[in-house]
Every structure is written in structure tokens, then in C-alpha cells.
């Protein structure tokens, strides 16, 4: 088997030399175990974000869709597909009973299995519960999403539309802006790199913002929160604008006065807090099948190209979910 090992703490953007691809011989299967072969491997911002908390060297954790090619476990026969946390590795041995967050690929009703690491996986659940449970959007409200063209953000904006809200997105290129408005049905989108965010938002949401789904943190989030309405809700999902700065802590704007004055509810979350993902999966599959939700993927081919897919995603090359076809 081949696996990616992280050798160093990242300085700025991760570098290829921070990784080593290591070959290892896998032992024979014991009772209860299965041998999995990765088919789709996920690259996600948290692989960068959590690096300072790891002890190097470590195996690059991540999520994959895998197929079982040998089995000593009757519940997981050969040919069945699973979601595994084994990361950037081609073959692995798993004991499903003791392995954390290992589960059978949900029923995708004929959709691509790759969605198991995307819109019908951790990413989709993050958008679904992170937005619906924390923001509790009401019909007619104005929802702002940053990282809007990414895996989570593109779903959040579309779910906002499904729930009858106005969706405004911020993303990092004109091409992404066009895609959000013309293909995904966002009411308005902006390239945060080229516009004045405060001014653009004032024009796009003259009556203020009710819900803010925050994927990026940093200054843009402070600007958006200053335009929130009384009792607005902020779902804090991530802060990718700072990940490549880690372990340095960026200077923060003091937002307490606006949180107090507008009586905002600001809540962070980790997707694993929701133990049962089945309601989200059912709705997400239904919406994708009906065409209400577009589950865009940015596919890179080949196990050898996982690093490039990862760094490309951090640099904003992706529309929708960045995923590697092994």
C-alpha cells in the first residue's frame, strides 16, 4: 500500500516536500477485518488547519470512498462501498467495529459514489445542519455566504434558496461569481478580491443581513457582521483566510459591540456534533435528483496528484467539492 506521510509543520502554504509517499506491506486479514481500496479521496481545508496540532510525522488523515476487495466480516462483503477516514492511502485494513467514523456509503439513488465525500457526506452535512440548525433561516430572509463557490458554501447558498431566502455569496474570481449567479441561482455574488465588500453588500442587501454562514473568518466577516439585522444569526463554520498563517494568530477586530447591539447569535460548530446524518442525506439526495441542488465537483485524477489537488483547493482553483479520483 502507498500512503502520504506529513513530515513537517507547514510554513505558509503546504509544500510537496512536506510530504513523503511511503510504501508498506499490509498484513493478512484477521477475523472481523476488511481490505479496502480507495476510489475517491477528499482534500479539505481542515488538513491544513489541524496541522499545528499534530505530532509530525503523521499519516495524512482525510476521508475516502473505498470499495471492499477482501473481507472477513459478513456485514461488509466484497464489492460493498464504504466511507473511511484512512486518508491519503490506496489500500488499508480496517476493522469496521472499532474504526471511528467508518460507515457504509449511503444510498445515493444512482448518483456518483464520489458524493460520499462531498454533497452526501461530511461536506453536505456541514452545509445542511450547520446552516439550517444554527441559522434557522425563515422564508424571505437575507443569507450571506463566504467561500460561496466552494464545497460547503455552494451548497449553503442553494439550500438558502430552497428555503425561500435571498442568497448573497462572496467568492474569489469573476468566473465563480458568474457561476453562482447563473448556474446556482444565487441572487447576487461578488468577487471579494476586486470589490469594496461593505459597499457591495449595502447595495445588495439594503435591508440588512439576517443569516451569515462564515467559511472564511477575517476582515470580510467583520464587515458582513456589521451589516446584520437585530437578532441575526451567524454560523461560524471555518476561517480559511487564516489557515495558511498558522501557527501565527492574526490580529482580530473587536466585534463584541455589534454582537451586543444587534443581539446576534454567533455559534461555531463541528459537523461531528450531529450524530445522525440520515435526514440530511435523504434531503440532499432528493434535492440533487430533482435538480434543485447542483453538487458540483472539481475532480483531479490520480493518487500521485493528491497533493496538487489539495494545494489547488487551498488556492481557490475549485468550484464545488475538490476530490481526487484514484
Q: Which residues bind ligand NDP (CB under 6 A)?
A: 44-46, 49, 123, 126, 147, 149-153, 171-173, 176, 215-216, 237-241, 269-271, 313-314, 316, 318, 322
Neighbouring residues of 276: CB distance < 8 A, sequence distance ≥ 6: none
Residue whose CB is less far from ligand NDP, 93 or 204: 204
Residue whose CB is less far from ligand NDP, 45 or 106: 45
Residue whose CB is less far from ligand NDP, 45 or 137: 45
Residue whose CB is less far from ligand NDP, 108 or 313: 313
Residue whose CB is less far from ligand NDP, 106 or 172: 172
Residue whose CB is less far from ligand NDP, 240 or 285: 240
Residue whose CB is less far from ligand NDP, 253 or 263: 253
CA distances from 264 to 251, 252, 267 (A): 22, 18, 10
**Closest approach of ligand NDP to the CB of residue 119, in Å:** 11
Asked if 168 and 142 count as a contact pair (C-beta separation under 8 A), the reply is yes
- The partner residues of 213 in beta bridges, in order of sequence, read 145, 235
Residue 241 CA to residue 69 CA, distance in Å, equals 40
Ranked by CB distance to ligand NDP, the top (closest) residue is 150
Mapping DSSP to helix (H, G, I), strand (E, B) and coil, where does residue 240 land? helix
**Closest approach of ligand NDP to the CB of residue 18, in Å:** 18
**Closest approach of ligand NDP to the CB of residue 139, in Å:** 25
Asked if 131 and 70 count as a contact pair (C-beta separation under 8 A), the reply is no
**Closest approach of ligand NDP to the CB of residue 195, in Å:** 13
**Closest approach of ligand NDP to the CB of residue 295, in Å:** 12
**Closest approach of ligand NDP to the CB of residue 309, in Å:** 11
CA atoms within 13 A on the CB side of 54: 19
Alpha helix (H) residue ranges in the chain: 46-49, 122-135, 151-162, 174-182, 197-204, 218-225, 240-243, 256-261, 278-290, 306-314
CA distances from 211 to 67, 178, 191 (A): 39, 22, 20
**Closest approach of ligand NDP to the CB of residue 194, in Å:** 12
Amino acid at each position: 500500500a502507498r500512503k502520504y506521510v506529513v513530515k513537517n509543520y507547514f510554513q505558509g502554504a503546504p509544500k510537496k516536500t512536506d510530504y513523503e509517499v511511503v510504501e508498506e506491506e499490509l498484513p493478512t486479514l484477521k477475523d472481523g477485518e476488511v481490505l479496502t481500496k480507495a476510489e475517491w479521496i477528499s482534500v479539505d481545508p481542515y488538513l491544513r488547519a489541524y496541522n499545528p496540532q499534530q505530532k509530525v510525522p503523521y499519516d495524512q488523515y482525510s476521508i475516502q470512498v473505498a470499495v471492499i476487495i477482501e473481507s472477513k466480516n459478513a456485514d461488509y462483503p466484497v464489492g460493498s462501498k464504504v466511507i473511511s477516514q484512512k486518508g491519503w492511502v490506496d489500500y488499508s485494513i480496517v476493522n469496521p467495529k472499532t474504526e471511528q467514523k467508518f460507515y457504509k456509503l449511503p444510498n445515493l439513488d444512482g448518483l456518483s459514489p464520489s458524493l460520499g465525500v462531498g454533497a452526501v457526506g461530511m461536506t453536505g452535512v456541514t452545509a445542511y445542519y450547520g446552516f439550517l440548525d444554527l441559522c434557522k433561516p425563515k422564508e424571505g430572509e437575507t443569507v450571506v455566504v463566504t467561500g460561496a463557490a466552494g464545497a460547503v458554501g455552494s451548497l449553503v447558498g442553494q439550500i438558502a434558496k430552497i428555503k425561500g431566502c435571498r442568497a448573497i455569496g462572496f467568492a474569489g474570481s469573476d468566473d465563480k461569481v458568474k457561476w453562482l449567479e447563473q448556474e446556482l441561482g444565487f441572487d447576487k455574488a461578488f468577487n471579494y478580491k476586486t470589490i469594496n465588500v461593505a459597499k457591495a453588500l449595502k447595495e445588495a442587501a439594503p435591508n440588512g443581513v439576517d443569516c451569515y454562514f462564515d467559511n472564511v473568518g477575517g476582515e470580510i466577516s467583520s464587515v458582513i457582521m456589521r451589516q446584520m439585522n437585530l437578532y441575526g444569526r451567524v454560523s461560524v463554520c471555518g476561517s480559511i483566510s487564516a489557515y495558511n498563517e498558522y501557527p501565527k494568530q492574526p490580529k482580530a477586530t473587536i466585534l463584541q459591540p455589534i454582537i451586543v447591539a444587534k443581539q446576534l447569535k454567533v455559534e461555531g460548530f463541528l459537523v461531528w456534533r450531529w450524530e445522525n446524518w440520515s435526514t440530511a442525506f435523504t434531503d440532499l439526495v432528493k434535492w440533487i435528483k430533482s435538480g434543485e441542488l447542483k453538487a458540483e465537483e472539481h475532480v483531479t485524477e490520480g493518487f500521485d496528484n493528491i497533493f496538487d489537488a489539495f494545494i489547488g483547493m487551498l488556492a481557490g482553483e475549485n468550484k464545488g467539492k475538490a476530490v481526487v479520483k484514484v
